[in-house]
Amino acid sequence: MRTSCVDGGLICLMAGVLIGCTTVPETGRRQINFIPQGEEMQLGLTSFEKMKQAVSISKDPAANALVQKIGKRVATVAPLPNAQWEFVVFESKEANAFCLPGGKVGVYTGLLPITRDEAGLATVLGHEIGHAVAHHGAERMSEALVLQTGGSLLDASLSKSDPRTHGAMVTAYGLAAEVGRELPHSRKQESEADHLGLIYLARAGYQPEAAVAFWERFAEYNRQQGGGEGLWFLRAHPLDDVRIKQLKEWLPEAQREYRPWSPGMN
């Protein structure tokens, strides 16, 4: 029996998804990841170098020293072989931080007043390090490839249908892919980074309750800025209340991971 191009493409897509499955450390979640680690790290390095050229780097020696100190401390307990850890403070009023593949972490100066202390900053850095350990960047790229292939297969299968039906179906697929898969998956990744960050926070000698305190401060900051929760299903991050609730549920696990820190500890 002859197999159509669409059927063949679907078989290849399913096989690729199965072959590309890996496991996230600590949480055990299965994920799709087709991107070789070396390629992922190179993408992170290239993007970070561009970021450092485009955005002013803070000249505050105290802020830089603190982020370097805590970042390296938390990274020490995170299982990411061959990581090229780099922690940079960028001048920006935005209360944010980010992590690029391979261990490139940026913190905006606007976030530092909210972190308030070492444990608060360790919470943020643990979260960002969690993204790197879980290879969330590579996973998002892999998911995009799967969705793009699915859209192409749908487009090919509808090529002989009424143009209006064809257009409506392709548009509906794009919307369903974004709202039904990409955004929820982004929220799942953010929650997973919270979970991993909480574990690394505790392993690095910080009381895990500090993570709850930081996110409560951040939620209050959001309220003061007038940032409403909006439509939850269109948000890439978990709702603040949901995030705090989850962290509290993970506290017993993190408390078991806690160990006092001493200089030179690995």
- Select which of 26, 40, 128, 190 is catalytic: 128
3-state secondary structure the chain: CCCCHHHHHHHHHHHHHHHCEEECCCCCCEEECCCCHHHHHHHHHHHHHHHHHHCCECCCHHHHHHHHHHHHHHHHCCCCCCCCCEEEEECCCCCCEEEECCCEEEEEHHHHHHHCCHHHHHHHHHHHHHHHHCCHHHHHHHHHHHHHHHHHHHHHHCCCCCHHHHHHHHHHHHHHHHHHHHHHHHHHHHHHHHHHHHHHHHHCCCCCHHHHHHHHHHHHHHHHCCCCCCCHHHCCCCCHHHHHHHHHHHHHHHHHHCCCCCCCCC
128 carries an active-site annotation: yes
Q: Which residues are catalytic?
A: 128
